[in-house]
Structure 1
Amino acid sequence: MDALPALDTFDAILQVLLMSAGVYLLLGFLRTTRGTGIVRGLGIGLLGGGLTLWLVSQMLELNEVLRVFDAIAQVAVIVLVILFHPELRRGISRLGEHELLGRFLRNVQAASVEEVALSAISMAKDRVGALIVFERRTPLESFVERSVPIGAQVTRHLIETIFHPGNRLHDGAIIVRGNRVEAASCILPLTENRELGKTVGTRHRAAMGLSEETDAVILVVSEETGSISICKEGRMERRVPRDALEGILLDSLGGSTLDTDKAERSRGSMVWGWIKSNPAEKLMALALGLGLYVGAWRAGRSVLEFTLDLQVQTAREGRMAALGELLVLTPEEISASVLTGSGQPSGQSSVRVVVRAPRELLGSLRGSLAGRVELKPGGTGERDLTPDEVRWSAARAFDPEELDVSWKGAAPRLVLREYTTTSVILTPQMVELDSSQLGTGWSVDSTSLSFLPSEILVRAPLGAEGPLEERLQFEPILLPERRNEEWTDRPRWNAALRLSDSSRDNGIELLGQSNMLIEVVPAMESVGHVLLDVAVVSLDPTKPDEPDLWEAPSKKVRIEVRARGIFTGSDEEDGGLRVALLEAIRESAHAFVNVSDHELEATEFPVKIQLPMPDAWLVRVPAETSERLRPLGTSFLDIVVEPGGLTLRPKSEPKTNESPGDGG
């Protein structure tokens, strides 16, 4: 840290000039008292000698001497007021009678009006609702007593802070008395005037109500439209032009403007006369002001570095920044990411900040700094984040104006993109299933794949190439290992869908959660092939003779026997089971075609298979295997007939059933 502050900024020069002006006014005030010599000497001694000793103590870090200065400073002002009370009273009285100062005091109301007008214009641009009451001749004490006392100088920043939507005082009105904000959260009476339209809100009705009962002037900023209205004597002037707001307020309050020409003519002589008078006193005031600035800066300033986790989230989540975090909140239609060192956008990063602030403040903030940024709608592309747009906070309350925050290194660079929200119907083709660990003998039942819910909201950047369904990719779902149990136990997994890294990098975001429902069944295994004779049958009991009208099939049908969940992995046991199953199918299964309800012409019929009962083949396997498989019946079997049906032809001379005595 440097020993002296830099005076190359407007802020530093302004502070030195303000301190010098304060010292000069103090010296001028001392001239108005009868104890001028004593008070002036004491004042110069304290300011000059005391300031010099204090600066030396600060630079040499003489902490004990500084503690003594702190103790003396707390009682010195009180002692001086008591000792020179008569002189101070007479000096203040004479100072108030000065023509220039009197003119200033008479225009305090105008200065307050200017601050109110500036704040109203600013809030109107941001569409922040406000209700500001100017007290005139009628006292408003009954409203002040039921409100939150403020008692602070009227400033633009104070008014905007009170009516900020996040402030607990933003509801109700503020009352301006002279040049002070007397109270906030004031409840005003509503007007009963039925001539007001239904579009007039509560703020406007409250302003009208108070203007009907008192001579106050009330300024209203509409939260919905951003328009400015002024109420006085039961009348409302709507949509006041912003550039004419200050003049209209002054006229409503009964103020008047100064003669501009006269002011311009006298301004030059007044400035020249002020420069020529008391040059030594002005130089002394400048030197003392510079010394006060250096001393205050050297005594109170310190530097501390913080490392903050930079997080980017959507403003709809509405959370506050945690300690050690810099939170960037974006509107729902805008998404922001941070360019990392590799040049890739990311939703999180880290940033180092340098904080210059009073030592006492930094001591209490150590390790507890947080920042929050709310980006406004509109604007895409890349831009740097500035410390001035960050709302800094900590574990304890403090004045953000006391902090001088800057980035250490390059500023965080934000990538802003405009987004749209779309409902997407989920399909199994969007998700890859990894069954490498599922185990042999098990497979996914593709016919039962489903999603709960079947649709999901997705945020994606506008202007991207290709349909969203093609750009939406999920992480593969890894199916866990499954033991080879009875196939009737159909396990089901509910797997949560997660976006793939590529989809996240492309700015796609899920606005909900969906699970994929996956059923796992024992896998079908081929047992072998069997040739079966095909019988011609009629399944219609009213046509029992239909098979006699067709030629017998000229070939056998070849079928593949498949089974699931019955093999144990033992070659000896499984081999015997395969042979027994094929023999039972060959001896007991029936292949047939149904010829009922068909015309007598060459027709290709589908071949159907009737499976044997378990007792027909379980007798061929060991008793232990038979007991394990008997409860399954034939439900584990699957018979696949070779493609193509069986073509039958009608007999050339079909038989007829003629009763005796029938004839032509």
Structure 2
Amino acid sequence: MQFEALIHTFRILDVIDILTVAIGIYYMYKLLKDTRAVALLKGLLFLAILNVLSHVLNLYVINWILQQGMTVILFALPVVFQPELRRALEQLGRGRIFSKAQNVNEEEMDMAIDEVMAAARVMSREHTGALIVFEREVGLNDFIDTGIIVDAVLSRELIKNIFVPSTPLHDGAMIIRNGRIQAAGCLLPLTEDRTLSTELGTRHRAAIGLSEQTDAVVVVVSEETGVISYTYGGHIYRHLPEDQIKEALRTFMERPRQNITSMWKWGGKK
């Protein structure tokens, strides 16, 4: 009876209302999916589920603690999501909220890796420092915004030109998204690990710092030694043959949802 009554009172405007909310949630997700905010949202969802379970199971102390914590979190959300909110308003103003994401197939990613390693080989020989980031599941828009948008086809020549000393973009990081150079001259967070070797300069510490905060893979070319290394999961892998680095990059990029750090036994945090 209640269902029949609901059907009779259901209006076209109610359908429009529900669809509008659903579309709004979908595009809000699109805005947040390429940022670190996704991980925070997953944490909030987990806390909400835990809150419901504690209420159902009559776990009064846990439920009270979670409720107090959720209240504090709700007040903190505008501060935590300030970069995402600012970006959402900017994209809305520019009419970019409906832009479609691009995808890259395995062959194109292999070509991108080959181009990066070819450029790294030359820069290593010439002792030109470089910092090249491969975006994976965790979006890097927060860091892309600190650099210059390039959005160019990836090629070894362009990579080498970007990292030529004394050029405007050579000091920052290059970020690769979907097999294209998305941005260059980007600022990355430095690791706070004090156990690292003093041989590692700012580039290496920035590469480690980013890999601590995201699931990105970062290729580093040392300006001082010419050594090519890569970082992932807060670890740096150095003094490896080029073929091993290329194979590691392919494996990481082909399996974005799988934590595969344990597959590689070539080196540790140094």
Q: Normalised by the shorter chain, which TM-score bucket?
A: 0.5 to 0.7
Structure 2 residue 217 is matched with structure 1 residue 189: no
Report the identity percentage. 44
Q: How far has the Cα of 1:198 moved from its partner?
A: 1.5
Paired residues of 2:134 and 2:218 also in contact (CA < 8 A):
yes
Aligned-partner Cα distance in 2 for 1:192–1:207: 12
Aligned-partner Cα distance in 1 for 2:207–2:126: 21
Aligned-partner Cα distance in 2 for 1:109–1:243: 16
Q: How does 1:355-374 map to 2 (within 5 A)?
A: none
Distance change in 2, residues 1:255/1:108 (3 Å): farther
Structure 2 counterpart of 1:254, one-letter code? E
Q: How does 1:439-454 map to 2 (within 5 A)?
A: none
Structure 2 residue 228 is matched with structure 1 residue 228: yes
- Gaps spanning 5+ residues in structure 2: where? 1-102, 257-270
Equivalent residue, structure 1, for 2:132: 132
Structure 2 counterpart of 1:226, one-letter code? G
Aligned-partner Cα distance in 1 for 2:160–2:166: 11
Equivalent residue, structure 1, for 2:163: 163
Paired residues of 2:106 and 2:254 also in contact (CA < 8 A):
no
Structure 2 residue 198 is matched with structure 1 residue 210: no
Aligned-partner Cα distance in 2 for 1:166–1:201: 18
Aligned-partner Cα distance in 1 for 2:133–2:191: 15
Equivalent residue, structure 2, for 1:480: none
What SS does the corresponding residue of 1:185 show, helix, strand or coil? strand
Higher-helix-fraction structure: 2
Aligned-partner Cα distance in 2 for 1:106–1:227: 27
Q: Which has the higher contact order (CA 8 A, sep 6+)?
A: 2
Aligned-partner Cα distance in 2 for 1:119–1:129: 11
What SS does the corresponding residue of 1:224 show, helix, strand or coil? coil
Aligned-partner Cα distance in 1 for 2:255–2:229: 19
Structure 1 counterpart of 2:112, one-letter code? S
Aligned-partner Cα distance in 1 for 2:243–2:106: 24
Per the normalisation by structure 2, the TM-score is 0.54
Q: How far has the Cα of 1:106 moved from its partner?
A: 3.7
Q: Deviations over 1:488-524 (max 9, x none)?
A: xxxxxxxxxxxxxxxxxxxxxxxxxxxxxxxxxxxxx
Q: Deviations over 1:356-387 (max 9, x none)?
A: xxxxxxxxxxxxxxxxxxxxxxxxxxxxxxxx
Paired residues of 1:217 and 1:232 also in contact (CA < 8 A):
yes
Structure 2 counterpart of 1:171, one-letter code? D
Paired residues of 1:131 and 1:203 also in contact (CA < 8 A):
yes
Structure 2 residue 257 is matched with structure 1 residue 252: no
Distance change in 2, residues 1:251/1:105 (3 Å): closer
What SS does the corresponding residue of 1:220 show, helix, strand or coil? strand
Aligned-partner Cα distance in 2 for 1:124–1:186: 21
Aligned-partner Cα distance in 2 for 1:244–1:139: 26
Per the normalisation by structure 1, the TM-score is 0.23
Aligned-partner Cα distance in 2 for 1:166–1:190: 22
Q: How far has the Cα of 1:255 moved from its partner?
A: 5.6
Aligned-partner Cα distance in 1 for 2:126–2:150: 24
Structure 2 residue 158 is matched with structure 1 residue 172: no
Aligned-partner Cα distance in 1 for 2:105–2:216: 21
Aligned-partner Cα distance in 2 for 1:252–1:206: 20
Distance change in 2, residues 1:105/1:252 (3 Å): closer
Q: How far has the Cα of 1:220 moved from its partner?
A: 0.4
Q: How far has the Cα of 1:166 moved from its partner?
A: 3.3
Structure 2 counterpart of 1:115, one-letter code? E
Distance change in 2, residues 1:238/1:106 (3 Å): closer
Q: Deviations over 1:568-587 (max 9, x none)?
A: xxxxxxxxxxxxxxxxxxxx
Q: How does 1:239-388 map to 2 (within 5 A)?
A: 239-254=239-254
Aligned-partner Cα distance in 2 for 1:237–1:106: 24
Structure 1 counterpart of 2:162, one-letter code? I
Structure 1 counterpart of 2:174, one-letter code? I
Aligned-partner Cα distance in 2 for 1:244–1:137: 22
Aligned-partner Cα distance in 2 for 1:166–1:142: 25
Q: How far has the Cα of 1:122 moved from its partner?
A: 1.1
Paired residues of 1:110 and 1:255 also in contact (CA < 8 A):
no
Paired residues of 1:230 and 1:240 also in contact (CA < 8 A):
no
Instruction: Give every structure 1 segment of 4 or more consecutive aligned residues whose post-TM-superposition deviation is greater than 6 Å.
Output: none
Paired residues of 2:154 and 2:181 also in contact (CA < 8 A):
yes
What SS does the corresponding residue of 1:107 show, helix, strand or coil? helix
How many residues are treated as equivalent by the alignment?
Answer: 154
Equivalent residue, structure 2, for 1:147: 147
Aligned-partner Cα distance in 1 for 2:188–2:115: 23
Aligned-partner Cα distance in 2 for 1:244–1:198: 25
Structure 2 counterpart of 1:164, one-letter code? V
Distance change in 2, residues 1:105/1:242 (3 Å): closer
Aligned-partner Cα distance in 2 for 1:240–1:214: 23
Q: Deviations over 1:578-604 (max 9, x none)?
A: xxxxxxxxxxxxxxxxxxxxxxxxxxx
Q: Deviations over 1:527-566 (max 9, x none)?
A: xxxxxxxxxxxxxxxxxxxxxxxxxxxxxxxxxxxxxxxx
Equivalent residue, structure 2, for 1:377: none
Distance change in 2, residues 1:253/1:106 (3 Å): closer
Aligned-partner Cα distance in 1 for 2:193–2:217: 18
Equivalent residue, structure 2, for 1:3: none
Q: How far has the Cα of 1:208 moved from its partner?
A: 0.4
Structure 1 counterpart of 2:210, one-letter code? L
Aligned-partner Cα distance in 1 for 2:182–2:237: 25
What SS does the corresponding residue of 2:231 show, helix, strand or coil? strand
